[in-house]
Amino acid sequence: MRCAMANPASQADGSRTGSSAPGCAGWQAALAEAVTDPTDLCRELHLPLAMAAAAEGATEAFPLFVPRTYLARIRPSDPNDPILLQILPRKEELASVPQFTTDPVGETHSAQGRGWLRKYRNRLLMVTNGGCGVHCRFCFRRHFPYDLRTPSERWEEALHQLARDPTIHEVILSGGDPLTLDDSSLAGLARRLAEIPHVRRLRVHTRLPIVVPQRVNDELLGWLGGGRLAARVVVHVNHPAEIDEAVGEALTRLVEAGIPVLSQSVLLGGVNDRVEVLASLFERLADLRVMPYYLHQLDRVAGAAHFEVPEHEGIELVRQLRTRLPGYAVPRYVRQPPSGPSKLVLA
């Protein structure tokens, strides 16, 4: 599952997305100083202010949130920059498009009032929080009704469910983005999970190492690699321009700490729907010892229809990728149906 962004401007525990206390770590400061106003964004990037005016309506339903560590990779004065297109609200988000819904993968009912989802055999997904490091405009959980209880309250229910079900062998930390939480809280959760004998693996789905690479610090590596559970990190990245030197170093730190890293991407019109772009992205990841895992067909979430690429075009893109790249560098092209035991492999 893609790491999911926070729905509206607050985290599920009631705190502001990106909030931090005085003296906070560098990654927390980066979130605290994120750009949240479309006019400020356009001014910093030397874009026409008319673009900010067009964004205002869309931000009422789903706010703008982008750290400057990510903003710095956007080409100034280019309204078609592939990173900008992922984060700038647009009037197209307000259009009502048939088959694009607020619950595109059928999660709302099963997650209502709980901090966990049971979607797949042998795995349990914990919705750890609602806060994220960036608000991607195509987020499949942009309308998700995040649980407003404190993290400890949500986690206790999930831990109780885990303890009583010996068929669950893997826990997936999702959200929001679990890595927007502090390391002491996450380390405590990892210890609690490791105390459950039948849980063997821990998977973290996140966009933070891409958006704010400072997030990959000693504390994170310590609790990820220092416990009984076999840990994996799955990062969400869509375009090679997102992987600058700092991001490459962050991913390398994870790999060299013995933590397998996989990637997930979403096929996005105008962003990465060309074979040259996808080939460059997946080859760069392979060079960094990150395994391309999934290329997702866009989930049909209300507000994101303008990003959709027809499935037949995605299948052809993957066919072309297989002629350019080694097999291990080509992810599976998948779609998440609203119900069913697994993702549907398209190519």
Exposed / middle / buried, residue 36 (Cβ in 10 Å: 0-12, 13-18, 19+):
middle
DSSP string, 18-44: T---TT--HHHHHHHT-B--HHHHHHH
In angstroms, what is the C-alpha Rg of the chain? 19
The tokens describing 126, both together, are 């914990």
Whether the model pTM is above 0.85 = yes
279-335 confidence digits (pLDDT tens): 999 999 999 999 999 999 999 999 999 999 999 999 999 999 999 999 999 999 999
22-31 confidence digits (pLDDT tens): 345 799 999 9
Q: Is the pLDDT of residue 10 over 50?
A: no
What pLDDT score does 132 carry? 96
Asked if residues 191 and 227 have their Cβ atoms less than 8 Å apart, the reply is: yes
Query: What is the spatial distance between Cα 291 and Cα 235, in angstroms, rounded to a whole number?
Result: 10
User: What contacts 76, CB < 8 A, 6 or more positions away?
Assistant: 45, 46, 47
Residue 6, phi-psi category: left (phi > 0), alpha (psi -120 to 50), beta (remainder):
beta
What residues does each domain of the chain span?
Answer: 1-347
Query: What is the spatial distance between Cα 123 and Cα 142, in angstroms, rounded to a whole number?
Result: 23
Q: Label the pairing between strands 344-345 and 116-117.
A: unpaired
CATH 3.20.20.70 for domain 1-347, yes or no, is yes
Distances (CA, A) of 125 to 68, 114, 128, 172, 206: 30, 11, 9, 5, 13
